[in-house]
Amino acid sequence: MVNFTLKQLQYFVAVADHGSISAAAVASHISQAAMSQALTDLERVVGAQLVVRQRSRGIALTGVGQQFLRDVRSLVRHADDVQNTIVERQQGLVGPLAIGCYTNLAAFWVPVISEKFIKPNRRLQVTLEEGEGRELQQKMLDGYLDAVLTHTRHLLPGVEARTVKEGRPYVLLAADHPLAGRKSVRLAELAEEDFVSLDIPTVRDNQLVNLRLSGLDPKIAWRSSSFEAVRGMVARGLGYTVLVQRPPVNTSYDGLPLATVEIDGPVGHSDICVAYSSTARPSLRLQAFLDFCAEAGGAAGGGPRTTA
């Protein structure tokens, strides 16, 4: 038999999010005494101390409280989904939807999501957060986000993902490079040339490993954490690079021409996907977002992929 109430769980989440009982009480529109009592009652029901009350310094979650919070977020979010689903079935999409977007995908996806999905669905309260793919997925697993737009190579254990766009790597060259006029190039042909590396954790951990497994050990001469800076250095003839994202124009920020050349031979893909928690059934609004991304990415038939 369940002895705690949904309201107690909601108050516990509010206390954890705001860092103090007083701030949570203000946000929840109840008195500080009522908030404190609700927290005490919840601790009594679950039989464990969830928070440490620190005079003038707010609260700190205990180890049990931190584990309990993750489960509680999922319960509270599911309760909200159940309520919103009733409305959505009658009146269309409504309610909150928190989306994370891997930083290197943001320039390609955030504008179209904003125009084609958020703007037409004005009853949705959509928030977009950019960041590192794995960190965003962890926030999703902790209950702060509903889904994360990222790469299949970045997926964490315990998430499910729907592929929305193919991500086959390609070679980027300066327009006057001897290989620029080719339709394709073997990676081995680039072995002695300088490589311009997109110096971010996911590329270091995934793409460079992928290239080595595909027979190329890049001779890294230049590095930048900026996608456009890497393209700019390639345009100035400092080396070549291998990327996945494909801007619609082959021109650097400073107006210099670039050439894209396909890779001849097997190379691991890093497809674009929308990751979501494998422990919860997608809400109607999340399902609508998944369908939108699949259509926008040209992969409407892309099936789900699960990591264990």
Per-residue confidence (pLDDT) for residue 170, from 0 to 100: 95
Per-residue confidence (pLDDT) for residue 5, from 0 to 100: 86
Give the mean pLDDT of the chain. 87
Residue 307 pLDDT greater than 70, yes or no? no
Per-residue confidence (pLDDT) for residue 116, from 0 to 100: 95
**Average pLDDT rounded to a whole number, residues 192-196:** 95
Q: How confident is the model at residue 89 (pLDDT cuts 50, 70, 90)?
A: low
Break the chain into its structural domains and give their ranges. 6-69, 92-166+272-306, 171-263
Per-residue confidence (pLDDT) for residue 146, from 0 to 100: 92
118: left (phi over 0), alpha (psi -120 to 50) or beta: alpha
> CA dihedral defined by 28, 31, 37, 40, rounded to 10 degrees?
50
Residue 267 pLDDT greater than 90, yes or no? no
* DSSP 3-state percent helix, strand, coil across the chain (nearest 5): 45, 25, 35
What are the start-end ranges of the H helices in the chain? 6-18, 21-28, 32-46, 63-91, 103-113, 133-141, 201-202, 208-213, 227-235, 284-296
Residue 12 pLDDT greater than 60, yes or no? yes
Of residues 67 and 242, more confidently modeled: 242
**Average pLDDT rounded to a whole number, residues 199-217:** 85
Per-residue confidence (pLDDT) for residue 1, from 0 to 100: 67
**Percentage of residues in the chain having pLDDT higher than 90:** 48
Query: Are 6-69 and 92-166+272-306 the same fold in CATH?
Result: no
Pick the CATH number of 171-263 from 3.90.550.10, 3.40.50.1860, 1.10.600.10, 3.40.190.10: 3.40.190.10
Q: CA-CA distance, 155 to 178, in Å (whole number)?
A: 37
Residue 161 pLDDT greater than 70, yes or no? yes
**Average pLDDT rounded to a whole number, residues 255-277:** 92
Tens digit of pLDDT for each residue in 120-143? Answer: 998 899 999 999 999 999 999 888
**Average pLDDT rounded to a whole number, residues 228-238:** 97
Q: How confident is the model at residue 119 (pLDDT cuts 50, 70, 90)?
A: very high
Q: So what CATH class is 6-69?
A: mainly alpha
CATH assignment of 92-166+272-306? 3.40.190.10
pTM: 0.68
